[in-house]
Amino acid sequence: MPILYNGSTREFHLHTQKVSYIFSILENNQLGHLYYGKKLRHRESFERLFHIGESPNTACVNEGDLVFSLDLIKQEYPAYGTTDFREPAYQVLQESGSRITNFIYQDHQIYEGKKKLEGLPATYVERENEATTLEISLVDEKTGMEIKLLYTVFEELNAIARSARFINHGQLEVNLTRALSASIDLPGSDFEMVQLSGSWARERHVKNRKLVPGIQSIASTRGTSSAQQNPFLALKRPNTAEHQGEVYGFSLVYSGNFLAQVEVDHYDVSRLMIGINPFDFNWLLKSGESFQAPEVVMVYSDEGLNGMSQVYHRLYRTRLARGKWRDRERPVLINNWEATYFNFNDQKILELAKASKELGVELFVLDDGWFGKRDDDTTSLGDWSVDRRKLPNGITQLAEDINALGLEFGLWFEPEMVSKASELYKAHPDWVIRVPDRQMSHGRNQFVLDFSRQEVVDFIYDLMSEVLRDAPISYVKWDMNRYMTEIGSLELPANRQREVAHRYILGVYSLYERLTSEFPDVLFESCAGGGSRFDPGLLHYAPQGWTSDDTDAVERLKIQYGSSMVYPISSMGAHVSAVPNHQVGRVTSLETRANVAYFGAFGYELDVMMMTEEEKEEVKAQIAFYKANHSLIQKGQFYRIESPFAGDGNITSWIVVSDDQTEAIFGYYQVLARPNPGFTRVFFEGLNPDFEYAIDGIADTFYGDELMSAGLQLDRCREKTHPADFSSVVYKLKRI
């Protein structure tokens, strides 16, 4: 069993094939943490792992006992105000004004499988024996409240999922002012904190910083997980690299405001916690009500950052993403946005679609501008009916015409937003997130619909479902281009206003759930001004996301490399766009643009009518290559090799390898050419050392051990290395 309980010592031992996680019930019946790391053999007692030192200058739990202090004990889900002076995992404000609680162990159960989390995305199982769950009940007798701590062990996948649920069994109302999903106290502070930070058009760059005494954190208060910070944090040892060393990863399955922080105390214990951001958060729990915190997925690896990432990749690709499109090969698409922006009609769209089909494209996506009177970004959001000026025969006829060309048809929506210049806003000005008697600030000339209100979600569902029922639509791009400001709901009472941001996200999830359930054949792609809500929560509903609005090949090296720290490449929308690039103005070769985009959900964002015949032939070859290797790219093991965040960032390389190690695709990228650079040798990862491989374009054959340990000298194939700025090479390897 992957979850064992030592009754005499009251210890829980959770273990996967490679990892152990051990905690116990303390003498005061709270939970203490003992160990998290490389797998240990099970023992009848782990008491030797428990340590408490006497301190002359702290508070102790029991009068007369000068030793037992929570200030000195590593804990599992720490409380506020009872001798622990570090930040707690939760806080409960009671009607008396007290914030002091005493949640103690009541009982536990261990069962095969995993329950769904109410209203929230989470990992899941398809067979009960895939995972085992521990459910612990903690009770505070004074308030009548209960906390259920859930731990699910994916034994073969080497991951542990955690969450917490608060239930008010008492007669009085309480307020949750803090309800984080997980906390863990790790011995020592010799760690570097790894985070994914950035902004619009440069999302999820890898940042490292050494832990110091005090609190270091990342967070979002923007109403989304955000482009600025991703809901992920890792702690790695200073010598940990991509393929060796210890690292602990924590990924929050949530799309709203979050906090991930590490507090290093006066004894160098590192307390990591993650969950909904307590800033501007409160949740009123009436008698009989409950609150479910989002799930956290924890991954420990002693095989470096890449070892951690591969656990996340496999788990998230197969047991977080869902539905028909989880395992099915995704179509090669083309999006009309950069070709036309708002300026199009049905004839122009059909011409683009026909030209795209001739190149091998499988899906044509009509982006913004098809609805209302949408000639620019100042109008019509919320009016999801076709603009007959541009498309006189409607969406249904256009979709059927594109289907007749042999292409699938996709459509863009931004369902969470409204323009003031819209029929929706005229009818329901109270349906936006706002505060009475305060100015409403705008973003991109638009406002956020109040998805904390059920009637708003229902209204948008009715509009979208009508379009999806009437037309043969196989793909939806779901955009979201606006952070929240002046957060408030005109419907909720005053004592629930700090619930709006979370209720909004629950509304988004409920709309996704209804639409994906009713239209299971539709491929949904999440987008938020590019990558402003690229997170595990939305991956549960949309198996791929628009990674970034920045489609420049050079910038995408960092964006896709950083994203792969947690997210499988099958989830990353990666397209070839026009040059000069519309975000940075850079001119890169068509070859390099494709060589980067291959490692994702592949597509195009350009005007094929403007391409030369030579370029069209090159695109045909690119699409043929991607289709031939689609399954390998989507389902293979991804290895990062050379990082664009290391040194001067001039070189990036990575490889995707089939599970049976018989095939691989290797990508190598150079930003700037160097004069007289010498001899470049590249090293591969993930191959079978005993297999002999042929490499397309190279006459010799190589054993896996040679390619991984001795490497391949690039000048053996000089004609493919292009000694120039923004150059790249992709090699296909196949076992002989």
Q: Which of 84, 346, 368, 549 does the annotation list as catalytic?
A: 549
Concatenating the DSSP letter of every residue in 408-442 gives EEEEEE-TTEE-SBSHHHHH-GGGBS--TTSPPP-
- AA letter at 512: Y
340-359 in b/e burial notation, b at 16+ Cβ within 10 A? Answer: beeebebebbbebbbbbbeb
Active site (annotated) includes residue 368: no
CA angle 39, 43, 49 (to 5 degrees): 75
User: What are the angstrom distances between the C-alpha of 642 and each of 136, 227, 336, 638, 711?
Assistant: 43, 24, 34, 13, 13
- Buried b / exposed e over 287-307, threshold 16 CB at 10 Å, is eeeebbbbbbbbbbbbbbbbb
CA nearest to 209, candidates 227, 224, 189, 228: 189
> What is the Cα 36 distance to its own chain's centre?
24
Please, which residues have CB within 8 angstroms of residue 95's CB and are 6 or more apart in sequence? 172, 173, 174
Other C-beta atoms closer than 10 Å to the C-beta of 403 total 16
Question: Residue 111: which residues within 8 A CB-CB, separation 6 or more?
Answer: 132, 133, 135
Distance CA 238, CA 222 (A): 32
- Strand locations in 119-201 (E): 132-140, 145-154, 159-168, 174-186, 192-199
Pull the structure tokens for residue 414.
């931004």
- The amino acid occupying position 523 is L
CA 655 – CA 708 distance, rounded (Å): 12
Structure tokens at 726: 């923004």
Active site residue 549: yes
What is the SS3 assignment for 163? strand
**What sections of 4-118 are H helices per DSSP?**
none
Sign of CA dihedral 321, 1, 298, 39: negative
Closest CA to 76 of 152, 155, 12: 12
CA distance 494 to 472: 45
Please count the other Cβ atoms lying within 10 Å of the Cβ belonging to residue 119: 13
Handedness of CA 533, 536, 537, 540 (dihedral sign): positive
Contact 108/136 with Cβ under 8 angstroms? yes
Cβ–Cβ under 8 Å, residues 659 and 637:
yes
List of residues 6+ apart from 307 with CB closer than 8 A: 243, 247, 301
Beta bridge partners of 477: 412, 525
Q: Measuring CA to CA, which residue among 651, 602, 594 is closest to residue 619? A: 594
Q: Which of 479, 535, 550, 552 is catalytic?
A: 479
Strand 31-38 relative to strand 90-94: parallel, antiparallel, unpaired? unpaired
d(CA 652, CA 447): 40
Report the alpha-carbon distance of residue 329 to residue 622 in Å, rounded.
16
Q: Which residues are catalytic?
A: 479, 549
